[in-house]
Amino acid sequence: MNDPFGSDGGPPPDPFDPYQRPLADSFRTDPYLIQGGPALDGIAVASFVCSLTCCAAPVGIGLGIAGIVRTRDGRRGGRWMAVAGLVLGVLLTLGLAAGATGLVLLGTSTYFFDDARAGDCVDIDEQDDWLDISPADCDEPHDAEVVYAGRFTAELRTSYIEDIGFCHPLAKSAGYDGLVAGGAHRIDPIVESDDVEAPEIGDYFVCVAEAADGDQLTEPLPRHEPSGGGHPGSDETDSDRETISSLDLRRGDCFDEPELDEDDLVNTVTRVPCNARHDYQVVGNVVLPKGRYPGEKALDARSDKCLDLFRDFLDIAYDDSRYELDYYSPTAQSWRKDDDRAITCLAVHPRGRKLTRDLEGIAR
């Protein structure tokens, strides 16, 4: 009798026998297998994943290129992932670069009222309820020029609230007499305050001159130095300037950039009132022990104490302040000949500009 199962008389095979070897192509264990296609390439997959994250997007570009090369012969799948990873990685990286550039521009274009001074040129972008002011080159087209900068006293506050010609006498005091009388420009105040209609005493403000016809300015406005020998807008006179030894600098002193002697050393400085334009303000001195000259490296290490003096003077930590820190330290010569035993710690403007006020307790 014929065996319907095609056997030689034995029992039929058990289709559920756990020891029976499966057909070779019945299944695969490759986790990247796509039914009916080649296994996915791991590099291509990694490229696609990296391109979806901001920080790893540049890595996704490199992996995408490698994935395209590895999948070109068709032996590995996932070519679309490599291509997508490359494209998305490029787009996201460009977006990050543009964003970083925007942050840099934003950080360097802010106009600080507390550092404003007459003669600054600015561009003014009028928004719905505020003004965006940024510094400009006076020799290039710009919107306005600062003709006075200051803070409200009780008298100035009253004048501002009651007098529509508030800026005119101030601009005149800063040397813009012809500008006030000419009529070709309008002069308006811009106030940094929570209440621009009634600012608080101590709030900052600037007076800016713009062309009356609305055109941009193309050069600095004509101006003369006020009488009295001081800088525009201050009461400083030549008698307020005092030449002293650099060893006599004390906490709170303000002074100008000193001239170096023939040995490139600082011997004397010109001390000025802190409400006048100056280059440095002393935030304190680090007193050094007597003995042999410790050397430049040891003095540099001791200068770290300037950070504490900076914080105590400005009432803000150095890392949180917008001002920079510098210092003078003894040389071997001054240590030996002048008994110089102190590191003089200094606050300076972050962009190398002149300081115009006392920084003690400014908390900025």
Taking each continuous run of H as one helix and of E as one strand, the counts in the chain are 9, 11
The predicted model scores a pTM of: 0.47
pLDDT at res. 113: 76
Which alpha helices (H) appear in 71-137, and where do they start and end?
79-109
Cα separations in angstroms, 48 against 66, 144, 190: 12, 51, 52
Tens digits of pLDDT across the chain (364 residues): 444 444 455 555 555 454 444 444 444 444 444 445 567 777 767 767 776 776 666 776 777 687 677 777 777 777 777 788 778 777 777 766 554 433 333 333 356 777 788 888 999 887 666 777 888 888 899 999 999 988 899 889 988 988 767 898 899 888 888 876 667 888 989 998 888 888 999 888 999 999 988 899 999 998 875 544 334 434 444 557 899 999 999 999 999 988 877 777 888 999 999 888 899 999 999 999 989 999 999 999 999 999 999 999 999 999 999 899 999 999 998 999 889 999 999 999 887 778 888 899 988 8
- List, in order, residues 6 or more apart from 211 with CB less than 8 Å away: 184, 185, 217
Q: What is the pLDDT of residues 38-92, one digit of tens each?
A: 677 777 677 677 767 766 667 767 776 876 777 777 777 777 777 887 787 777 7
pLDDT score for 226:
53
Instruction: Please name the residue that has the structure tokens 């997959």.
Output: 45
pLDDT of residue 128: 62
Name residue, tokens 């068709």. 74
Residue-level pLDDT at 212: 87
pLDDT of res. 109: 38
- The predicted-structure confidence for 215-267, as pLDDT tens digits, reads as follows 999 999 988 755 443 344 344 445 578 999 999 999 999 999 888 777 778 88
> What tokens appear for 252 in the block?
């709170």
CA dist., res. 193 & res. 197, Å (int): 9
Measured CA to CA, the distance from residue 172 to residue 186 in angstroms comes to: 13
